[in-house]
């Protein structure tokens, strides 16, 4: 192993540990208990998408074809971006004149579709993680908002808990 590879691995481990500590601290402060699988998923999502310069691109264009074709990787990418926009960057959505509830609905739908994809293939563990993420999307959003120190507003909670679309 070269010294550059070793340094990259250590930096990667340090970043992961930093995200893990942040999630645990925010869970404690917000009174939210995600549990290990959901917390690990949140850390993985944060690490994967935090540098995405096109985070707020039109999600429906990506979601609908992947939903219909059951593209597992694309579904989880859409879900992750929607989670980050809803939780960390709601102002980005507002600047683009898109309601945060839109990203909530698409994110929940993507997690459900991802769960259905893996459930149909007998991979219950993958399916359960995505199903839990869909069911606890608001908890994930509150955890991310806690990282920024900005709570979910009453107006957003109304929009987030009564989506127009119904998912299985």
Q: With both helix axes pointing from N to C terminus, report the angle between 154-161 and 137-148 in degrees, rounded to the nearest 10.
A: 160
Positive or negative, the CA dihedral 151, 111, 35, 42 is negative
Residues 112-158: tens digit of each pLDDT:
999 999 999 999 988 999 999 999 999 999 898 888 776 666 565 55
Q: Is 0.85 topped by the overall pTM?
A: no
152 φ, ψ (degrees, to nearest 5): -70, 130
Closest CA to 34 of 126, 132, 101: 132
d(CA 103, CA 137): 11
Cα–Cα–Cα angle for 88, 93, 96, rounded to 5 degrees: 150
Reported as a single tens digit per residue, the pLDDT across 7-48 is 344 556 677 788 888 888 888 877 888 888 888 888 888 877
């Amino acid at each position: 192993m070269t010294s550059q590879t070793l340094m990259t691995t250590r930096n990667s481990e340090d970043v992961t540990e930093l995200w893990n500590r942040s999630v645990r601290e925010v869970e404690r402060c917000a009174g939210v208990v995600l549990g290990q699988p959901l917390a690990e998923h949140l850390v993985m999502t944060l690490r994967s998408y935090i540098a995405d310069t096109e985070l707020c691109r039109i999600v429906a264009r990506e979601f609908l074809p992947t939903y219909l074709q059951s593209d597992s990787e694309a579904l989880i990418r859409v879900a992750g971006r929607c989670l980050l926009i809803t939780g960390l960057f709601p102002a980005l959505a507002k600047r683009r004149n898109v309601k945060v509830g839109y990203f909530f609905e698409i994110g929940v739908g993507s997690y459900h579709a991802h769960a259905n994809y893996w459930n149909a293939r007998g991979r219950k563990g993958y399916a359960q993680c995505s199903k839990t993420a869909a069911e606890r999307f608001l908890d994930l959003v509150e955890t991310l908002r806690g990282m920024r120190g900005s709570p979910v507003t009453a107006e957003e909670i109304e929009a987030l808990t009564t989506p127009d679309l119904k998912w299985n």
